[in-house]
Structure 1
Amino acid sequence: MLREEQKKRERRNKVLIQGGVIVAVLAVAALILSVILNNAKPDGPGPANMASDGILLTGVDGVITATETPALAAGEAPTASTPDDSGTVANIVTYIDYLCPFCGQFETTNSESIRTMVESGAATLEVHPIALLTNKSAGTQYSLRAANAAACVADASPESFFDFNELLFENQPEETSAGLDNTQIKALAKEAGVSSLSTIEKCIDDTQFKKWVQDATTRALTEPVPNSDLESIKGTPTVLVNGKQYEGSLKDPAEFQSFVLQATGETFSESTSTPAP
């Protein structure tokens, strides 16, 4: 009798173990399937007002406005902005990473003078946020998250982009630190006076434009830079004025202002020159 009872217990235990293994295998399979399905989701569109992979800001009578463009569809190639070639306007284009300390130096030094030039109509500003330093923030992907947040603002509240961009650099964390968390980034968006705050907050939390940031970064690093002779972006900041790359001091505002005047003057000479008969 004892031997029979022992055999029955062994059979029950065997069935329970087999059942437990099957349940565990099914749970793992379900997890793997969930990951595959999430990764297989179709890419969403990019942000509105950044059809060139950057946002183009112009000004008149002291007010900065964004050039409105439709969102890029998933897989769609960007359309380069058309620069003002009259020779009376400086077309300033920047490729920046919000964790890049050299970008921080350039922005801190020149933000106010660029604001004045854009507000007066003497210059346009096209900002391309890219994420080169995604792996330089203690695992938080701050570079990518900040670029995504900039895209969120460009998409839903483009009139606040200049202020938000400026605040991100004024509060720039150190490279290799964890950076700002989403709550802090959303507080900066609110300080910038964005409209549609709840929409932007959700966009930041969802990293809505993550794929677009990654694609725009890849394009910047591998494709020719529009309206210039550069084959690609080699690092940040990359600053162009009327297609000419600025390679001067990041800490001397007078040097950059001089470069802007020189580049604009050269464009003016080219636009007014007439070919010899």
Structure 2
Amino acid sequence: MSYGSAGDGRLSKNERREAAREKAKMLREQQRKKDLRNRVFLFGGLGVVVIAIGVAVTLIIVSAIKPAGPGPMNMASDGVTISKGYVATTSPAQPADADPVVPTPDYSTGVVDIQVYVDYLCPFCGQFESTNSEQIGQWIDSGAATLTTHPLAILDRGSLGTKYSTRSANAAACVANYSPDSFYAFSALLFKNQPAENTEGLDNTALKGYVGDAKADNVSQIEKCIDDTEFKDWVSASTARALKGPLPNTEVEKVEGTPTVLVNGQQYSGSLTDADAFSAFVLQVASEAYSTATPAPTPEPTVAQ
């Protein structure tokens, strides 16, 4: 039997022990570096998550405090007023959530002030419109009356998810904003072609078609406004104002249903399908305003004989 020496390629016991120590040290160093890298990745990942959460929270807060979009021009009173010659009264745009600017009417002029709060999906509004639109149009054309239309969105639930009440009220606001003198004709077309409740209502293509039929100006801008529902914030806010009340220049507290029809501030509660009944109410209110505004003649003094 022979034994090798230190120089024949074999390690001594001490050398093997030292090599094992070095290898263990190297493994520990590798593990330490690996743990350090993992901690860096972990904290880096947490940092990304924290940043993402922070961005999300910021967006939520910003969205919550974002002001409502703009309201339409020519509807500062939450409605558009049509006067003699079917000309709209102009007014600057208000923020959607701003209180309406409503002038105090002067009933002594003899011009009857008619206010209607409508939802373009409301069948009763359609009945009132088809019954009375001709005579109201004659009163407007002659200068005997003004008509202020307030488009509301109460019946969105009745259009199978398409929110037709909001879309049609927005479309009316778009016309009022970009071509106000076409509002009367456009509003009439919406009622003439009124869809039934519990249907999808008219699509945007149809709404845009009636813009052309109403001979509106700025058609491309109105069409974009309809597609973008540019005034949906205003529709929501003005509807909430009408439902909460009070209604300006009247003792009627709020809109409790559509149509709500006011003549010189007095609410009409008669038949929606009897033009004579509404005409009689208008004449009665107008005569009351005239008699109140016109002082009784002073009797001539009697001279004793």
Shorter-chain TM-score bucket reads: 0.7 to 0.9
Matches within 5 A, 1:1-277: 36=60, 41-59=66-84, 63-86=85-108, 88-273=110-295
TM-score (norm 2): 0.76
Q: CA deviation at 1:240?
A: 0.7
Residue pair 1:87, 1:265 contacting (<8 A) in 2 also: no
Cα distance in 1 between the residues matched to 2:59 and 2:186: 34
TM-score (norm 1): 0.84
Aligned length: 252
SS class of match (1:86)? helix
SS class of match (2:199)? coil
Quick check: which has more Rg, 1 or 2? 2
Q: CA deviation at 1:77?
A: 1.1
Q: CA deviation at 1:42?
A: 3.3
Residue pair 1:84, 1:91 contacting (<8 A) in 2 also: no
Q: CA deviation at 1:75?
A: 3.0
Q: CA deviation at 1:64?
A: 1.2
RMSD value, Cα: 2.5
**Could you say if the C-alpha distance between residues 203 and 263 of structure 1 is closer, same or farther in structure 2, counting changes exceeding 3 Å?**
same
The percentage of aligned residue pairs carrying the same residue is 53
Cα distance in 2 between the residues matched to 1:85 and 1:204: 36
**Could you say if the C-alpha distance between residues 196 and 39 of structure 1 is closer, same or farther in structure 2, counting changes exceeding 3 Å?**
farther
SS class of match (1:44)? coil
Residue pair 1:50, 1:154 contacting (<8 A) in 2 also: yes
Cα distance in 2 between the residues matched to 1:39 and 1:142: 26
Q: CA deviation at 1:160?
A: 0.3
Amino acid at match of 1:128: H
Q: CA deviation at 1:33?
A: 7.6
Q: CA deviation at 1:30?
A: 12
Unaligned runs of 5+ in 1: 1-21
Amino acid at match of 2:272: L
Cα distance in 2 between the residues matched to 1:187 and 1:30: 46
Residue pair 1:87, 1:266 contacting (<8 A) in 2 also: no
Cα distance in 1 between the residues matched to 2:59 and 2:222: 26
Match of 1:15 in 2: none
* Range that drifts further, 205-214 or 249-258: 249-258
SS class of match (2:159)? coil
**Could you say if the C-alpha distance between residues 74 and 180 of structure 1 is closer, same or farther in structure 2, counting changes exceeding 3 Å?**
closer
Cα distance in 1 between the residues matched to 2:297 and 2:159: 54
Residue pair 2:96, 2:238 contacting (<8 A) in 1 also: no
**Could you say if the C-alpha distance between residues 202 and 162 of structure 1 is closer, same or farther in structure 2, counting changes exceeding 3 Å?**
same
Cα distance in 1 between the residues matched to 2:264 and 2:243: 20
Cα distance in 1 between the residues matched to 2:96 and 2:160: 30
Amino acid at match of 2:184: F
Cα distance in 2 between the residues matched to 1:199 and 1:167: 19
Structure 1 runs (4+) deviating above 4 angstroms are: 28-41
Q: What whole-Å deviation, never above 9, does each CA across 1:5-27 have from its counterpart, x for those lacking one? A: xxxxxxxxxxxxxxxxx9xx99x
SS class of match (1:135)? helix
Q: What whole-Å deviation, never above 9, does each CA across 1:88-133 have from its counterpart, x for those lacking one? A: 1111000000000000000011111111100100001111001110
Unaligned runs of 5+ in 2: 1-45, 299-305
**Could you say if the C-alpha distance between residues 108 and 29 of structure 1 is closer, same or farther in structure 2, counting changes exceeding 3 Å?**
farther
Q: CA deviation at 1:86?
A: 1.6
Cα distance in 1 between the residues matched to 2:233 and 2:223: 18
Amino acid at match of 2:82: L
Cα distance in 1 between the residues matched to 2:130 and 2:200: 21
